[in-house]
Structure 1
């Protein structure tokens, strides 16, 4: 643009992204996805129970799988941070794209699942005095917390994929 001002869709004070770059994941978008997931979780439980069915419970295997995924993402974030940010190593472009896509997908899916599990937990809060609903609230709440860890690990991996700015370095 010739005017020198910000582009129409751009907030003042922010630079446009460089060609070939990806914007960081918006925290607002992740929160909106989690709220949508909570609405889906509550609606799903109500729909299943209103049709005479029994809402599914969150199993231990689910918690173990999410915890394993979070641990893998945290390790990938640490390894990537060490390679790119600390040792300033170059990594293959295809690997960098893969890690960035994995990070973004993990953050989005983790946010959605956080909401769904929180919605499940909220659905059973009214009957928490009984042991069945109490166990459902505990397991769904634990799954929501572990899903938040997946989101956090995804965001850390995304941050680790950033190329450090070095004006002395020539491409």
Structure 2
């Protein structure tokens, strides 16, 4: 006898991978926000925010940590066929999902901020554009490595590694 799950609850214990459409949506939200930040800062703040090399380097550090975690997780599960504790896998999955969404948002935000500086004449305009573009690329790296970590967490049913 099988019992259907209550309405609104998912059946089985399966999660769907983060879709590309969701990541693109968050990137578009970030793009618009980054673009609008420049205009808002020009009107209502003393000066537009300056992007230093610390921002892209910090984002690259996060991407490197996620990439290393993804590689170690993949190797542990799919090469050595070890099953980590469930709570560790849930923690990694939550980290991967959150970082994928935030990475897409950051990539879009920095890209929008970089695009808003194109064609602007000023002392720091090109500097802000280039550093923002580097931070946007690092945001893309975060999103990619987070998705790789999410994929590395996939395990099949008992004895079935997929």
Q: Same fold per TM (> 0.5)?
A: yes
Summarize deviations over 1:75-97 as a string: whole Å, max 9, x none: 00000000111111010000000
Contact 1:84 1:164 in 2 (8 A): no
C-alpha separation in 2, matches of 1:152 and 1:106: 9
Pairing 1:28–2:28 present = no
Q: Give the corresponding residue for 1:139.
A: 131
Contact 1:121-1:140 at 8 Å conserved across structures? yes
Give the equivalent residue in structure 1 for 2:85: 92
Question: Residues 94, 52 of structure 1: CA spacing in aligned structure 2 closer, same or farther, 3 A cutoff?
Answer: closer
Structure 1 residue 52 displacement after superposition: 4.8
Q: What secondary structure is seen at the aligned counterpart in 2 of 1:125?
A: coil
Q: Tell me the equivalent position of 1:74.
A: 67
CA distance in 2, matches of 1:114, 1:106: 12
Partner of 1:153: 145
Q: How does 1:53-68 map to 2 (within 5 A)?
A: 53-68=46-61
Q: Output the CA distance in 2 between the equivalents of 1:68 and 1:149.
A: 10
Instruction: Tell me how far apart the structure 2 counterparts of residues 108 and 52 of structure 1 sit (CA, whole Å).
Output: 28
Q: CA RMSD in A?
A: 1.8
Superposed CA offset, 1:119-149 (max 9, x none)? 110110021x544101000000000001100
Unaligned runs of 5+ in 2: 1-9
- Give ranges in structure 1 of 5+ residues lacking alignment: 1-16
